Structure 1
């Protein structure tokens, strides 16, 4: 990395960039994570007890998750739901990325990208609340379905996980579309033409040519979408029902309602380990490395 930066910007500027990057990683990433781990390994004590005989390292905060059936169920439900959100987002994003990269004219692609980006100029909570209005029991979606005669009575879209899924796919679609779009755009059109000339259909062309070429972009999009979904708080809080709680809501409750930062830190670290494990799994499945994803 240093040689590449040095060749592009010169030695002194390359050193300055790497130094600032190192400081940022240490101050903003490494130290907070180490402090969180330290919090998670200590009991929740009164200020007067800190540093006393009861202030010792323990894994009791981690054991709480496995001893609490409700929290454990929510943890695994968050895992499965985040994977489902990732799959749904990929299903929606892949055709769109293909259209933008290989089908649309430059003018059409620019207009489509603009239409995708403009809603994200609005705060995420406002965008999520707009879906709350759309999916409400007497909201516009139910009114349209009733008017078209497709349903006999309003549907409670927000009574389960359906609203959360829709809101998350919408909230994180850009993080899937753009990596896949960038990967597909670099594909040589001659490879697609050759596959079609040899008799390959659309599905086979994508399966044998496009998807293998776009693996780094797909892996990047899946990793980013999963981590954002697993760590989301606003979407499940606004669009979820009491029976569709997210693990992040449990963490929030430990920190800000229960006042138990040690227990909250343990739960947050377990969520971090889950995200790292998913990232490693995706990289293994798609057979890509960090260098491929960084491209």
Structure 2
């Protein structure tokens, strides 16, 4: 679907949305395009990406094209970067939305009894999260995949597309994060302090901390070492994304680099147990992507509101 955007004027903003073929990502694509942004919707499966573009076209959203992207595959990332450089010569907005849950689901996310939402009526957030946790189990392989995708995949996409973002007069990176990545989820005060001290924290130290987490996870020492409990790998990966975002914001003041928590959204990754619709969740992300020029950077936005800290 690389011909959906026939000609893009130089002054038109160009966005890439990872994991854009469904859920929050698809809706982010729709809302950005509706705001006059030329959108490159990426998906692991090329066919699914093309079908998502067709779906948007059926909603009269035309300024969107698809491109294959597996954020855990260096060659796939390189192909996307080459395409963007050739086609547009720049990138104005990068929305890193692609993610995995870091757990194994016991229940099928396509189960009609779940997707209908009937079972969640009358449940508050805590009750829904308790239900979700009861339908998951943590394994080492799932935890490792969670870190590789949610942190390293996001990081590698940013590194590859950074020169194109710097070619924009107002480049922006929005890393879709979670309140699960806030440091209040950690029980080890030393870990919290180190992850919060982004003036001194390095990427190399982040690598060491993530390796330490996996080692503790494999040894059954997550609780003892004070790592987050329940959805541990997801929380640790999102905390790493938050820390890396702050490092990037300090290193590249010419860019706007922010984290956005869309809210507890009804998607496959939550087994449709969330409180918000994908449209509502995406709106919280798009609001950050379209902040006024030279606005906030190195910040965390929770459902559209900037928090005072990452703690």
Q: TM-score, normalised by structure 2?
A: 0.28
For the pair shown, the structure with the greater C-alpha radius of gyration is 1
- Indicate the structure with greater helix content: 1
Q: With a CA cutoff of 8 Å and minimum separation of 6, indicate the structure with the bigger relative contact order.
A: 1
- Indicate the structure with greater strand content: 2
Q: TM-score, normalised by structure 1?
A: 0.29
